[in-house]
Chain A
Amino acid sequence: MASIILPANPSESRPGRFGVYGGRYVPETLVAALDELERAYNEAKKDPAFQAELYTLLTEYAGRPTPLTFCKRLTEELGGAKIYLKREDLLHTGAHKINNALGQGLLAKRMGKKRIIAETGAGQHGVATATVCALLGMECVVYMGDVDMERQELNVLRMKLLGAEVRGVSAGSKTLKDAINEAMRDWVTNVRTTFYILGTAFGAHPYPTMVRDFQKVIGEEIKKQILVKEKRLPDAVIACVGGGSNAIGAFYEFIPDREVRLIGVEAGGYGPKLGEHAARFRGGLPGVLQGAFSYVLQDENGQIAQTHSVSAGLDYASVGPEHAMLHDLGRAEYVARSDQEVLDAVVKLARTEGILPALESAHAVAEAIRIAPTMGKDEILVVNLSGRGDKDMGILARELKL
């Protein structure tokens, strides 16, 4: 087991630590910028004017609240628990990423930063960031791995149309991790003028906390909506986990409700060996990558492993530090579903409910399809449908031989 670098007094709870996880493992050049960001965020959080502006954009621009849809035919076909979908796929730009991009975009404006950078895997965060930059009149540069640019080409075109510059990254596995490396290099170079809108609940403090705060509206809405429809809490909330922003957004409100199972679904890829999947809780060890201490897929020398997933958004070697804590505490369970199970889930949801999920979100659907038949008909599952699948049509056409 890797040795853990702890603050001087580990029992001392401090901002940015989730148990032993999280922290701030970055080059010195970025520390002042992270401090500035943390101060600005803490002020904005308490400012009613900032919250009101964000609320207006979330409701009138992005389309919140999103519906909670009961899946009647899917539930009947599986013959077990009642399945509800939280419809983040219906948001403007097609995924939950807009919640966070709006929040950080407004924060950048408040801090007077005119240049925005972002990384993207599946392209959903890149599109959300490009959208917010267009809305707020800011310059936007998005880093994206070459492999992801090819497999999520539609989103590349959307970003370009929205006025963003998309910079391909040819290093490493040419996926999300490499895009984050390149965004961090840009930020370390242009730190005085540039705001980095990080898309997931990962990285150095304050990002994991800030991104979770901008996404926790998902779980808050789920709770209100399910109490209206069912007069009780669900038995489980299921969400896919890449960096983990949609999952922590869906889970956070339910953490104190011990009777609600929280199930995170990682990318099982095509096999159990290192390099064949992105299931950090199955093959990873605690370590440091890109600013945070968390579970990391790595080799025996501490080099970060290559990962694989059919979904670009889950194809990442580490996971948000708050998930690492929930995992160790046993408060959330983490499972992995394979590429094939995910493709099957896409078809099943499309043909029973007329809903095309993103490949990322389909991991959560696949887990619901697996466990619903084992549960009673009076039990309730809520699946966070974090994004829609239009962007994946190229992959789906090829994989499903449409």
Chain B
Amino acid sequence: MPIRFDHKPGLVIYLTVGDPSLEATREIALAAIDAGADALELGVPFSDPVADGPVIQRASEHALEHGTSLKDVIGLARELRAARPQVGLVIFSYLNPILRYGLSKFADDAAAAGADGVLVTDLIVEEAGEYLAEMNRVGLSPIFLAAPTSPDERLQAIAEHSKGFIYAISRTGVTGTRQSVAGDASELVSRIRRWSKLPVAVGFGISNAEHVAQVAEFADAAVIGSAIVALVERSTPETAAGAVARFIKGLRLPQAAPAR
């Protein structure tokens, strides 16, 4: 199923699965969808998250303390697909847990669970031959990151191999909240548009309605990660879903209300 951004601006919500617990992530995910998230990135916790800042590092540690695995994430995707057929579901992982699970088995199981796409943080297009073949075989969308440092020839390759949407990194650095959205981001998105007609989502450092409004001026969707994960960390397992729902509802300013 294609990932659709029916709301303007589109919202992609990242969750570290298993933080604070698998059950809590399920409740938070459902609340996020009902509050207006167009797509969810279901983050597979990893012991060595080199692309992530302190917030997602801590969340990953919490999730790993009680053994959250890729299998659990696929299981959660299956439940969410059954409960909310329309939402976009992306499995977001570092490569090693997928290799250990078995690339081909992962592709089969993720597709059967009803996931729409996969984003592998540390897999670049040049290394993705077998991965792309597997994604294509089962009809999953491979989503690649594009960075402000990516030259045009790389953006062209990223555009050529991406499906679903392209994830534009707002600035160099790890995940985490920032004061403002860098000027890097709009330039990057306009460069991506030269090579691709896919929707472009901007992430890294997007943490409030003002950021979302800035992103909406030049991109199709904003990805909110660390701000949500930090909110989950500040909440109790019982209050997290409600807090996340209120936060997401507040991300679209009144003039940019849902289009439907």
Give bound CA distance, A25 to B128, whole Å: 10
Q: Output the least CB separation between A307 and chain B (Å).
A: 12
* Contact digits for A20-52, partner B, Cβ 8 Å, 1 yes 0 no: 000111111111110000000000000000000
**Residue B75 CB within 8 A of the other chain:** no
Among listed B84-92, B98-106, B108-116, interface-contacting one: B98-106
Task: Please tell me if the beta carbons of B103 and A287 are within 8 angstroms of each other in the complex.
Answer: no
Give bound CA distance, A298 to B47, whole Å: 10
Task: Please tell me if the beta carbons of B102 and A289 are within 8 angstroms of each other in the complex.
Answer: no
Residue B173 contacts which of A2, A188, A285, A291 (CB distance < 8 angstroms)? A188
Among listed B28-36, B148-156, B194-202, B247-255, interface-contacting one: B148-156
Give bound CA distance, A243 to B71, whole Å: 31
* Contact digits for B138-163, partner A, Cβ 8 Å, 1 yes 0 no: 00000011111111001000100000
Task: Please tell me if the beta carbons of B147 and A27 are within 8 angstroms of each other in the complex.
Answer: yes
Residue B70 contacts which of A2, A24, A289, A302 (CB distance < 8 angstroms)? A302
Q: Chain B contacts of A303 at CB under 8 A?
A: 46-47, 64, 96-97
Give bound CA distance, A303 to B67, whole Å: 10
Among listed B3-11, B19-27, B49-57, B211-219, interface-contacting one: B49-57
Give bound CA distance, A189 to B123, whole Å: 18
**Residue A7 CB within 8 A of the other chain:** yes
Among listed A102-110, A177-185, A337-345, interface-contacting one: A177-185
Q: Output the least CB separation between B123 and chain A (Å).
A: 6
Task: Please tell me if the beta carbons of A296 and B96 are within 8 angstroms of each other in the complex.
Answer: yes
Task: Please tell me if the beta carbons of A285 and B129 are within 8 angstroms of each other in the complex.
Answer: no
Given A28-B145, A301-B97: A5 in contact with B47 (beta carbons within 8 A): no
Q: Output the least CB separation between A181 and chain B (Å).
A: 5
Task: Please tell me if the beta carbons of A298 and B144 are within 8 angstroms of each other in the complex.
Answer: no
Given A2-B100, A302-B99, A304-B48: A185 in contact with B129 (beta carbons within 8 A): no
Give bound CA distance, A297 to B1, whole Å: 37
Given A189-B173, A290-B48, A290-B50: A28 in contact with B146 (beta carbons within 8 A): yes
Q: Chain A contacts of B150 at CB under 8 A?
A: 28-29, 31-32
Residue A3 contacts which of B46, B130, B169, B172 (CB distance < 8 angstroms)? B130
Residue B172 contacts which of A29, A296, A304 (CB distance < 8 angstroms)? A29
Q: Chain A contacts of B103 at CB under 8 A?
A: 3, 5
Q: Chain A contacts of B129 at CB under 8 A?
A: 5-8
Give bound CA distance, A90 to B53, whole Å: 40
Q: Chain B contacts of A191 at CB under 8 A?
A: 149, 172
Task: Please tell me if the beta carbons of A26 and B124 are within 8 angstroms of each other in the complex.
Answer: yes
**Residue A378 CB within 8 A of the other chain:** no
Q: Output the least CB separation between A296 and chain B (Å).
A: 7
**Residue B127 CB within 8 A of the other chain:** yes
Give bound CA distance, A323 to B103, whole Å: 24
Task: Please tell me if the beta carbons of B47 and A27 are within 8 angstroms of each other in the complex.
Answer: no
Residue A177 contacts which of B48, B49, B71, B96 (CB distance < 8 angstroms)? B48
Given A298-B96, A298-B100: A31 in contact with B131 (beta carbons within 8 A): no
Q: Output the least CB separation between B183 and chain A (Å).
A: 14
Task: Please tell me if the beta carbons of B96 and A287 are within 8 angstroms of each other in the complex.
Answer: yes
Q: Output the least CB separation between B219 and chain A (Å).
A: 17
Task: Please tell me if the beta carbons of A5 and B174 are within 8 angstroms of each other in the complex.
Answer: no
Q: Chain A contacts of B104 at CB under 8 A?
A: 3
Residue B48 contacts which of A3, A31, A289, A301 (CB distance < 8 angstroms)? A289
Residue A304 contacts which of B47, B131, B148 (CB distance < 8 angstroms)? B47
**Residue A385 CB within 8 A of the other chain:** no
Give bound CA distance, A71 to B71, whole Å: 55
Q: Output the least CB separation between A25 and chain B (Å).
A: 5
Task: Please tell me if the beta carbons of B102 and A3 are within 8 angstroms of each other in the complex.
Answer: yes
Q: Output the least CB separation between B218 and chain A (Å).
A: 19
Q: Output the least CB separation between B120 and chain A (Å).
A: 9
What are 13 contact pairs spanning A and B, CB under 8 A? A3-B103, A5-B127, A8-B129, A24-B127, A25-B124, A29-B147, A31-B150, A32-B150, A188-B173, A287-B96, A301-B70, A302-B101, A304-B48
